[in-house]
Structure formats: structure tokens, C-alpha cells
Amino acid sequence: MGELPRSRLGEAFEKARVDGRAALVGYLPAGFPSFAGAVAALTAMVEAGVDVVEVGLPYSDPLMDGPTIQVAVDRALTGGTSTEDVLHTVAAVARTGVPTVVMTYWNPVEQYGVDRFAADLAAAGGAGAITPDLTAEEAGPWLAAAAAAGLDPVFLVAPSSTDQRLARVAALCRGFVYAASTMGVTGTRDQVSGRSPTLVERVRAVTSTPVAVGLGVSNGDQAAQVAAYADGVIVGSAFVRRLLDAPDEATGIAAVRELAADLAAGVRRR
């Protein structure tokens, strides 16, 4: 076997580290508020300072998603968003030059075909995939397909994870480890979980891979708080909320851009 291809996610986190800050990761589901609207909003995020983009693959049974993202995903599905649309969204956003990953539950990947999904995601310019409900024990086929396609696999750890579990999951991750700061579903919160710093410390004890914290960040002040101890700050529901609250797409995209700029400033003033 030859050496693994370079990790574009890892490079983005390394660039942020050299800059003396945390990386900013932004999420939106494909197809929301429309196909073109999602591409425009994600592009606006990049232009305002997001370092890594997560494109959500809409799924009918989103176990980890809170009510805000559930509404957006439902609208995307109602609009007919397909896996092919997700890949087209990745291709459009990846052209900005920022590493773009898919956030997806495992069932749609199985339905599409594991090897085919990896190959098509790589062909679209994708850098990897985050698979929140894929366990380490069942990850073999995806790890093989991702390696063959040069993609970074990213898995989640939580405060409830044992040290043994943290080590096992972290060993499978490339690019970064996704640390879920709470045991609940996604959504903005008045305060980011106080369990996050301890979780990040525990992950760092078993891996040198960067650790990004998700679930709860909604503004620049909270981003600065998380950036003080994590390598990356992941924001999703707050972006979705800006689009849901807007009277039209153009206004929503402008609000997304404004939030991204606030968050980007936040990770820089940690």
C-alpha cells in the first residue's frame, strides 16, 4: 500500500493553527431553502470566513437533528432533494477552494452504494464525509471506500464515550474528530456545554488529530469561547435559523453571511 493522499481537512485545520486560531466549520442541508439557495448561502459562508463546509444530506429519519434542522431537512425533502442534488451542491461549493464534506446518516449511503457514493463524492470535489450514526464496528466498508477515493472519514464522540471508545473512534478519523458537546440533539443554546473542554482534553489524550466541537454555538462570543480550547468550531442550526426567519432567500443569504462574519471574527479573538 502507498501513502494515504493528503487530507484537505487536515490542511485547513493546520492553516488555522498556524494563524493562531480555531477553524470555523459551517453546515447547511442541501436543497434548503432551495438548491440554488443552499449553494448561494454556503458560498456566502465561505466568502465571510468559513474554513470548512458541511453539506447535509437530507434524510427522513434524522435522529441527531434538533427541531430547527429537522424543519429545513423536511423542506429540502419536500422539494425533492436527492443524493445527486447533494453531490451537485458539493461540486458547486468545492469550486470555492474550501474543503467540502457531506454530513450524512448511513442509510442513504447504503442505499446509494458505498463504493459508488465514495467515488462520486470524490469526483464532485468532496474532501470527506461525517457519518454520525455509523459505529466503529460497522465502519469497515466505508473506511475502505473512503481510502480508495481519497476521502477523509469523520466520526463523532460524545461526553458519554469511554476512554477506550474515544481512542477507537479517534483512530478512525482523518481531518478532524467531531466532538458533540452535549448528549442531546443539534440546536443553538444560550450557553455552550461546560462538558466540552473536558471532552476535548480526553480526545487529545488519545490522538493528535484536530478536535472540532459542534452542537450549540450560535454567535461570535460563543465561537470565541469554544475556540479557546478546541481546534475547530462547528455551527449549523444558527445558520439554518437565519434562513428560516428570513422573508425571502436573498435576505436569508445576507443574514447567513453576516453570521458567518461574526463567527469568523469570534474564532480569531479566542
Respond yes or no: is residue 54 known to be catalytic: yes
Distance, CA of 67 to CA of 249 (rounded, Å): 20
Q: Three-state DSSP class for 220? A: helix
Nearest 5°: CA angle at 12, between 234 and 178? 35
Which residues are paired to 214 by β-bridges? 180
Type and span of the H or E element at 29: strand 23-29
Which position among 14, 51, 61, 65 bears the catalytic label?
Answer: 65
Which position among 14, 47, 51, 54 bears the catalytic label?
Answer: 54
Distance, CA of 67 to CA of 72 (rounded, Å): 9
Query: What sign does the CA torsion over 40, 43, 48, 54 have?
Result: positive
Which residues are paired to 232 by β-bridges? 23, 212
Active site positions, annotated: 54, 65
